[in-house]
Structure 1
C-alpha cells in the first residue's frame, strides 16, 4: 500500500496509523509542513516518509536548544530537497502553557554544520536567531546556485553582508528578500556588489522594513539601475528624504519590466514626533508620480506612509485614482 499526498499537515492520528502499518504503508509527500514544535514528533514524521520524494519542507516552529545538530542531520537525508522555508519565533503561535525559549541560552549554541544540499534552489529563513555572524557558514554548504534567498525578521552583521557578494551560489538569484533585516547601522556596499552580480537575473527585490538611511540607499542606486529584469520592488518602511527618493525613481526610470513598485513616503511627510502630515503627503505624491511617468508607462505604483498607530492601516497614494487616503 502506498499513500500519496501533495501537501501533508501533521496529525497525531495519521502518525499513529502509519506507525502501526510500517512496512506495508509508504507515505510519499512532495510538500511537507510541520506545525509542531516538539523535535521528537518531527523525527517520528520523517521516519515514516519516503524522504527521496520530499522536495519542499517547512518547519513552522522555533528550534529548542540542542536541536540544531538534529536538524542538520535531518537535512542530510533529504537528497532531493529544493525548497526550504525555515520559520523561527516570529511565526510561531504559542499556546497559553507554552513558554518562549530561553533565547539568551540559544544564541550561545554554535551554528549547525548543515550538510551539502545538492538540489536546494529556494531558501527562506524567517526569524532565525542564530544567523548573525554565521551566514557564511550556512551559505558555504550550498552546492547549487539559489534562485531565491529570503532572510526576514533576522539580525545580520556586517560580516554577513560582506559575504553575500562573495558566495558564488548567489550569483543567479531571481528573488532576494531582506525585509525587516535592519541595515541602518551597516554598510550597504556589499549589497550593491551583490545586485551588480545578479543584475541580469534578479526579478524581485524586497527591502521593506530595513530602516535604511539616505546614504545607504544612495550606495545601491548605480546597481539598481542595472537590474533590467526587475518586475517587483518593495522599499516600504525605510527612512528616505524627498531628494533621495527622487534619485531612486530616476535610477529606475529605464526598468521597463516593472509591474509592482512600492515606495515609502519621504521623511518630509512626518512631523518631528513621527505623525503623518497628510497635506504634505498629498503634495509630494504627484511630484513623485511625475518622475515615474517621465520616461515610461508604469503599471502599479504606490507610495505609503508608516502604518497608522490608531487603525493599523497605511496611508497610500494610488496612481490609478491619483488620490490620497489616510485612515486615522
Structure 2
C-alpha cells in the first residue's frame, strides 16, 4: 500500500506523488457510483497503564480526522484500577456494538457502575462479562477514652470557711445550671446529627438503588450474553436475584467465586433461575452451600444433559451432601471435569464410584480420597471406563499439586507421593 494508502482511500489526488503520472478516474468507475463503505479498524482496549492513554488518544484523533470514512471497533475491553473518566473518553469514540468481551477488574461504587451501564447497554453483541474485585478484609477498630477530674480543697481559717462554703455552693449551682444547658445543647446537636445522618443515608441508599436500577435496565439489552463471571463484587449481595432476572437468554457458563456475603435469598434464587437450565460450565467457589443440598441437586438435575464442567471448591459441603449429588452426576453424560475439595476425609462406596466414574474423566480432588485402597479404586475406574468409553483411562489430578497421571487397562498405577 505504501504511504499513499490513506490519501487514496480518502479520494485525494495522487498525481503529484505517483511515479506513474496522473491517474484518470472514469465517470463509469464503480467507486463514483458506489462509494466505499467505512473502513473498520479493530483494536483491543486494555486500561491498566497510564502510558496507554497517549496511544488511545492518538488513535482517536487519527480516527476523528477521517470521520465518516472509518469506524473504530473493539472486541475485547479490559478495565483495571483506573479512573473511569479515562475510560469514558475512549468509549465515546468506539463502536460499542462490536464488543464481545468485557472484564472489569476493579472496585466501583454503584453510581460509577450505573454510569458504565449506559455504555454496557450499547454492547448489543456482548457474550462474556466479568466483574472481578480484589479480595480485601476490612477491620474496624474503636477506641474509647475516659476522662476523670479530681479536685482538692484546702482548709482555711475558721472565720472565712462559712463564707467560702456559701460562695462554693453558689458556684456549684451555677456550674450545674451551665452543665444542664450544655447537655441540652449537646442533645439537640446529637439529634440534629442523627437526623442529618439518616437523611444522608436515605439519600445515598436511594441514589445507589437508582444506579443499580439503571445497571439492570441496561442488562436487559444484552441479548447475546452467554458467560458471566463474578468474583466478590460488592454490589451483588442482596441483589443477585434482580440481576439473574435480567438475563435475556440461557447462560452457557456461570462462575461465582468468593461471594461469601450472598444472602440466603440470593442463593435460593440462584438455584431457581430458569436461565441457568442449559449450563455447560458451573463454578461455585467459596460459597456457603451447606444448607442448599436439595436446591443444588435440583439444578444439577436440570443441567444434566448439557453440563461438562462442575466446580464446587470450598463450599463447606460435607461428605453426605456430596454423596447426595453423585446419582445426579451419573446422569450428566457430558461431564468431563469435576472440581471439589472436601472439608474432611471423603469415603465413597464402590457402587457410588462405579455409577459416577464413567462420565467424570478429570477430577480435582483432595488427597483424602486416595487411601490405602487406591489400587482397588483404580480397578473400579478401569472397568467402568472400558465398558463405557473404550480403553482410555480417566486422567486424575490429585491434591493441591495437581500432578498429572494417566493409566491404561493392564497397567498398575504408580506409587502416589504426597
If the length of structure 2 is used for normalisation, what is the TM-score? 0.62
Does residue 119 of structure 2 align to residue 46 of structure 1? no
Distance 1:77 1:299 in 2: 45
1:291 and 1:7, CA in 2 relative to 1: closer, same or farther beyond 3 A? farther
1:35 and 1:245, CA in 2 relative to 1: closer, same or farther beyond 3 A? farther
Distance 2:294 2:351 in 1: 17
1:261 paired residue number: 363
1:1-328 matches, within 5 Å, as 2=39, 4-5=41-42, 7-10=44-47, 11-21=52-62, 23=64, 24=66, 26-64=71-109, 66-90=111-135, 110=209, 112-113=212-213, 114=216, 115=218, 116=220, 117-155=222-260, 156-183=262-289, 185-235=290-340, 237-244=341-348, 249-255=353-359, 258-266=360-368, 283-297=372-386, 298-304=393-399, 307=400, 314=401, 318=405, 320=407, 322-326=414-418
More strand by share: 1
1:74 and 1:293, CA in 2 relative to 1: closer, same or farther beyond 3 A? same
- CA shift at 1:293, angstroms? 2.5
CA RMSD of aligned residues (A): 3.1
1:154 and 1:221, CA in 2 relative to 1: closer, same or farther beyond 3 A? same
1:325 and 1:254, CA in 2 relative to 1: closer, same or farther beyond 3 A? closer
- CA shift at 1:30, angstroms? 1.1
Could you tell which deviates more after superposition, 22-31 or 49-58? 22-31
Could you tell which deviates more after superposition, 282-291 or 158-167? 282-291
Q: Secondary structure at the match of 2:44?
A: strand
Count of residue pairs brought into register by the alignment:
291
- CA shift at 1:103, angstroms? 9.8
If the length of structure 1 is used for normalisation, what is the TM-score? 0.77
Q: Secondary structure at the match of 1:151?
A: strand
Q: Secondary structure at the match of 1:210?
A: coil
1:199 and 1:265, CA in 2 relative to 1: closer, same or farther beyond 3 A? same
Kindly name which structure, 1 or 2, has the bigger radius of gyration based on alpha carbons: 2
Which runs of 5 or more residues in structure 2 are unaligned?
Answer: 1-5, 7-38, 141-200, 387-392, 408-412
- CA shift at 1:292, angstroms? 2.5
1:101 and 1:65, CA in 2 relative to 1: closer, same or farther beyond 3 A? farther
1:125 and 1:242, CA in 2 relative to 1: closer, same or farther beyond 3 A? closer
Q: Secondary structure at the match of 2:229?
A: strand
Distance 2:349 2:46 in 1: 44
More helix by share: 2
Residues 111-154 of structure 1: per-residue CA shift (max 9 Å, x gap): 82322021101111122233233211111111111111111122
Which runs of 5 or more residues in structure 1 are unaligned?
Answer: 91-99, 268-280, 308-313
Residues 164-218 of structure 1: per-residue CA shift (max 9 Å, x gap): 34222111111111122232x4322111111111110111111122232123213
